[in-house]
């Protein structure tokens, strides 16, 4: 018996997938065209067994020595064939809609999109995703994210799957130029709770069981972890904390600094650094409000109001820096456009447009956050000014107000103007974003505001407008779902 080199029967990747290989060199075209990693070539050794009966012409392969399960082998193949994407240096901000990536299949430009959906049924069963084949999506009928807070004892939870779609390369390489864009999709599912404990992470069983928090902030510095944290998890978790009026671990300094040690920051990242301080302010205000009226309650309100004034100054400094950055580019922060051409404009005769999609999202979040923040300050001022006598406006009471505070800024009329600004900005942001669920929480804030003034017989047109915008959100989400289901995907990462 002697071993001799056999024929080439295809690359290792095609052989593992049991498909025909074109034996291209150095990598087969079937693998490179579909974005898979070609496993290379390896000749089989054929053993020739000579016998008198067959005159030395009988050949056979050695029997398999190990019989593993098909499921285990397919999982191993799937892990080996998964493409590893790396962000191309110099690294860009996470909120840049298009990013350059590199992999063993070459260089790619991908655009970020995200949808909130039911993850259990997101990937169609039998699509072959576990074997490294292209996965197909099965997205249920889109429904806008319900941001209604639960005020429950359950902590915030979010799970996500990151998938990449690369445009197929044609036979003509000139048609498969680098200008074609792929997609990086984050499908995620979250709850609306935000319970919080002040215990250290190593003592908090909930924190230790949180698969996103447990690795620490240093785990979110590279693609796709950083982009998942900055674009998906952080905004969702902060809004859940705001609406549930519960602090969040994301306010810790390491969670506002470490994930951005490699990637540049944007004004939106800086805004969330300030916003993440507000849930603890709201929680303290909720503990002060039910106290019995008196000097102690007033003193606590004054102390908290001083903290609010400091945060207000941070907002003012941040917004002035945004204004300066936009002025240097030669564009205004936003401008007024006519909204009467559509029936969706009522009761707003005009709308806002912005120099970029990110700047529209920045203003929507900024104004929506100020609605809740200014309502909190107004309630604290009401506690400080309350008195059984008519002396509440005496100089002694006015002296308790922190210096530099503008009382008119927090009046209900100004808060209503903020709510109108949010509504006038939502349509532009919805049309230009690839993440429509980012607008669910701001919409909930303005809807609750108009529901509040509805108790006094006001705000009916605005409430109808909010209901109409929710319908437009669901139309946009449904169109995105249909469009995404037409494509083939490679799953790269799971979170949570």
Asked if residues 101 and 86 have their Cβ atoms less than 8 Å apart, the reply is: yes
Residues 171-229 pLDDT 10s: 444 333 444 889 999 999 999 887 766 556 655 666 667 889 999 999 999 999 999 99
Listed range (112-126, 236-250, 287-301) with the worst mean pLDDT: 112-126
Q: Where are the beta strands (DSSP E) in 125-251?
A: 158-165, 181-190
| CA-angle at 116, arms to 233 and 254, nearest 5° | 0
pLDDT at residue 72, as a whole number: 45
Asked if residues 29 and 23 have their Cβ atoms less than 8 Å apart, the reply is: no
Residues 22-46 pLDDT 10s: 888 777 877 877 767 787 877 655 5
Residues 146-171 pLDDT 10s: 999 988 888 899 999 999 999 876 54
pLDDT at residue 84, as a whole number: 84
Give residue 329's pLDDT band: very low, low, confident or very high (50, 70, 90).
confident
Residues 75-108 pLDDT 10s: 433 443 456 899 998 899 999 999 999 988 888 9
Asked if residues 263 and 211 have their Cβ atoms less than 8 Å apart, the reply is: no
- The structure tokens listed for 73 are 């082998």
pLDDT at residue 387, as a whole number: 52
pLDDT at residue 290, as a whole number: 93
- Residue 233: pLDDT over 90: yes
Greater confidence (492 vs 403) lies with 492
Greater confidence (8 vs 3) lies with 8
Q: What is the mean pLDDT of residues 302-326?
A: 94
pLDDT at residue 75, as a whole number: 45
Q: Which among 222, 220, 221, 184 is positioned nearest to 108, based on CA atoms?
A: 184
pLDDT at residue 175, as a whole number: 36
- Residue 243: pLDDT over 60: yes
Whole-angstrom CA distances from 243 to 271, 369, 444, 466 are 17, 10, 9, 18
pLDDT at residue 304, as a whole number: 96
Listed range (215-219, 239-243, 394-398) with the worst mean pLDDT: 394-398
- Residue 465: pLDDT over 80: yes
Q: How many CB atoms lie within 10 A of CB 98?
A: 12
Greater confidence (402 vs 72) lies with 402
Residues of the chain with pLDDT > 70: what percent? Answer: 79
The mean of the pLDDT values for the chain is 83
- The structure tokens listed for 115 are 């949808």
- The structure tokens listed for 89 are 């240096």
SS3 of residue 494 by DSSP: strand
Residues of the chain with pLDDT > 90: what percent? Answer: 56
pTM of the full structure: 0.80
Residues 61-76 pLDDT 10s: 444 444 445 444 444 3
Give residue 353's pLDDT band: very low, low, confident or very high (50, 70, 90).
very high
Q: What is the mean pLDDT of residues 345-368?
A: 93
Q: Which residues contact 441 (CB under 8 A, 6 or more apart)?
A: 145, 147, 239, 242, 243, 368
pLDDT at residue 63, as a whole number: 45
Residues 410-443 pLDDT 10s: 999 999 999 999 999 999 999 999 999 999 999 9
Asked if residues 84 and 155 have their Cβ atoms less than 8 Å apart, the reply is: no
Q: Which residues contact 178 (CB under 8 A, 6 or more apart)?
A: 107, 109
Distance CA 411, CA 374 (A): 8
Q: What is the mean pLDDT of residues 260-265?
A: 96
């Amino acid at each position: 018996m002697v071993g001799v080199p056999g024929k080439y029967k295809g690359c290792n990747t095609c052989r593992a997938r049991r498909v025909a290989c074109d034996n291209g060199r150095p990598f087969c075209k079937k693998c490179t065209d579909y974005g898979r990693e070609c496993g290379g070539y390896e000749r089989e050794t054929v053993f020739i067994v000579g016998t008198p009966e067959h005159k030395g012409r009988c050949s056979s392969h050695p029997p398999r020595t190990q019989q593993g399960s098909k499921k285990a082998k397919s999982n191993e193949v799937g892990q080996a064939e998964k493409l590893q994407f790396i962000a191309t240096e110099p690294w860009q901000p996470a909120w840049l809609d298009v990013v350059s990536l590199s992999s063993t299949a070459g260089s790619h430009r991908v655009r970020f999109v995200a949808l909130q959906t039911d993850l259990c049924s997101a990937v169609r069963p039998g699509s072959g995703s576990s074997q490294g084949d292209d996965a197909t999506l099965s997205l249920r009928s889109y429904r806008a994210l319900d941001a209604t807070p639960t005020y429950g004892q359950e902590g915030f939870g979010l799970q996500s799957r990151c998938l990449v779609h690369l445009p197929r390369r044609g036979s003509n390489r000139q048609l498969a130029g680098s200008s074609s864009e792929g997609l990086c999709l984050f499908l995620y599912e979250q709850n609306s709770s935000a319970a919080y404990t002040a215990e250290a992470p190593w003592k908090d069983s909930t924190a230790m069981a949180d698969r996103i928090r447990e690795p620490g902030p240093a785990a979110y510095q590279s693609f796709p972890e950083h982009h998942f944290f900055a674009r998906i998890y952080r905004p969702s978790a902060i809004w859940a904390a705001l609406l549930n009026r519960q602090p969040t671990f994301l306010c810790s300094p390491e969670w506002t600094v470490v994930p951005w040690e490699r990637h540049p920051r944007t004004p939106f990242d800086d805004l969330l650094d300030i916003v993440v301080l507000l849930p603890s302010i709201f929680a303290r205000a909720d503990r002060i409000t039910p106290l019995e009226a008196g000097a102690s309650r007033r003193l606590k309100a004054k102390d908290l109001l001083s903290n609010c004034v400091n945060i207000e100054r941070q907002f003012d400094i941040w917004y002035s820096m945004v204004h300066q950055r936009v002025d240097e580019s030669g564009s205004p922060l936003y401008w007024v456009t006519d909204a009467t051409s559509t029936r969706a404009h009522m009761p707003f005769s005009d709308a806002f447009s912005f120099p970029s999609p990110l700047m529209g999202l920045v203003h929507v979040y900024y104004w929506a956050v100020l609605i809740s923040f200014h309502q909190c300050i107004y309630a604290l001022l009401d506690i400080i000014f309350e008195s059984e006598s008519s002396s509440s406006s005496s100089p002694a009471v006015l002296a308790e107000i922190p210096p530099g505070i503008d009382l008119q800024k927090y009046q209900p009329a100004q808060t209503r103007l903020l709510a109108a600004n949010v509504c006038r900005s939502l349509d532009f942001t919805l049309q230009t974003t690839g993440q429509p669920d980012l607008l669910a929480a701001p919409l909930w804030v303005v809807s609750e505001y108009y529901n509040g003034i509805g108790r006094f017989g006001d705000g009916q047109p605005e409430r109808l407008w909010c209901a109409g915008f929710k319908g437009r959100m669901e139309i946009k989400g449904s169109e995105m779902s249909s469009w995404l289901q037409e494509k083939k995907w490679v799953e790269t990462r799971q979170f949570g």
